[in-house]
Amino acid sequence: MTVKKRILTGDRPTGPLHLGHYVGTLANRVRLQDEYEVFLLVAYYHALTRHVEKEHVVATRGFTRELVLDYLSVGIDPDKTTIYVQSDVPSVCELHLLFSMLTTVPRLDRVPTLKEVMDAENIEQETYGLLGYPVLQAADILHVRAHLVPVGKDQASHVEVTREIARRFNFLYGDVFPEPDALIGDVPTLLGTDGKAKMSKSLGNAIMLSDDAKTVEQKVRAMYTDPTRIRADIPANPEGNPVFQYHDAFNPNKAEVEDLKARYRTGKVGDVEVKKKLIVALNNFLEPIRTRRAYYAARPNLIDEILAGGAAKVRPISQETVNAARDAMGLGRGQ
Per residue in 163-174, pLDDT (tens digit) is 999 999 999 999
Return phi, psi of residue 287, to 5°.
Answer: -60, -50
Q: Are residues 242 and 142 in the same domain?
A: no
Residue 52 forms part of a structural domain: yes
Q: State mean pLDDT over 194-207.
A: 84
| CATH code, domain with 77 | 3.40.50.620
Q: Are residues 219 and 86 in the same domain?
A: no
Residue 57 forms part of a structural domain: yes
| CA–CA gap between residue 178 and residue 69 (Å, rounded) | 31
Q: Are residues 149 and 236 in the same domain?
A: no
Q: Are residues 306 and 242 in the same domain?
A: no
Q: Are residues 54 and 160 in the same domain?
A: yes
Output the pLDDT for position 188: 58
Residue 204 forms part of a structural domain: no
Q: State mean pLDDT over 75-101.
A: 96
Q: Return the closest-CA partner of residue 278 out of 291, 265, 269.
A: 269
pLDDT over 70 (residue 335): no
pLDDT over 70 (residue 2): no
| CA–CA gap between residue 174 and residue 169 (Å, rounded) | 7
144 vs 114: which has the higher pLDDT: 144
Output the pLDDT for position 277: 98
Q: Are residues 285 and 306 in the same domain?
A: no
Q: Are residues 82 and 28 in the same domain?
A: yes
pLDDT over 60 (residue 1): no
Output the pLDDT for position 327: 96
Residue 262 forms part of a structural domain: yes
Q: Are residues 268 and 315 in the same domain?
A: no
Q: Are residues 182 and 147 in the same domain?
A: yes
Three-class HEC string of 167-209: HHHHHHHCCCCCCCEEEECCCCCCECCCCCCECCHHHCCCCEC
Torsion of the alpha carbons at 105, 111, 116 and 122, rounded to the nearest 10: -10
CB neighbour class for 106 (10 Å; exposed up to 12, middle 13-18, buried from 19): exposed
Residue 203 forms part of a structural domain: no
Residue 27 forms part of a structural domain: yes
Q: pLDDT band at 212, cuts 50/70/90?
A: very high
| CA–CA gap between residue 202 and residue 64 (Å, rounded) | 17
Count up the domains in the chain and report the number: 2
The tens digit of pLDDT for each residue in 49-80 reads 877 788 878 888 889 999 999 999 999 999 99
| CA–CA gap between residue 145 and residue 321 (Å, rounded) | 8
Q: Are residues 106 and 15 in the same domain?
A: yes
pLDDT over 90 (residue 189): no
The tens digit of pLDDT for each residue in 261-296 reads 999 999 999 999 999 999 999 999 999 999 999 999
Q: Are residues 218 and 127 in the same domain?
A: no
Residue 200 forms part of a structural domain: no
Q: Are residues 103 and 225 in the same domain?
A: no
pLDDT over 60 (residue 92): yes
Q: What does each C-alpha distance from 209 to 252, 262, 318 come to in angstroms? A: 18, 30, 31
Q: Rounded mean pLDDT of the chain?
A: 91
Residue 174 forms part of a structural domain: yes
| CA–CA gap between residue 110 and residue 90 (Å, rounded) | 28
Residues 166 and 134: beta-carbon distance below 8 Å = no
| CATH code, domain with 272 | 1.10.240.10
| CA–CA gap between residue 32 and residue 40 (Å, rounded) | 12
Output the pLDDT for position 28: 86
Quote the domain boundaries for residue 279.
211-293
Q: State mean pLDDT over 208-237.
A: 91
Cα 133 versus chain centre, distance: 15
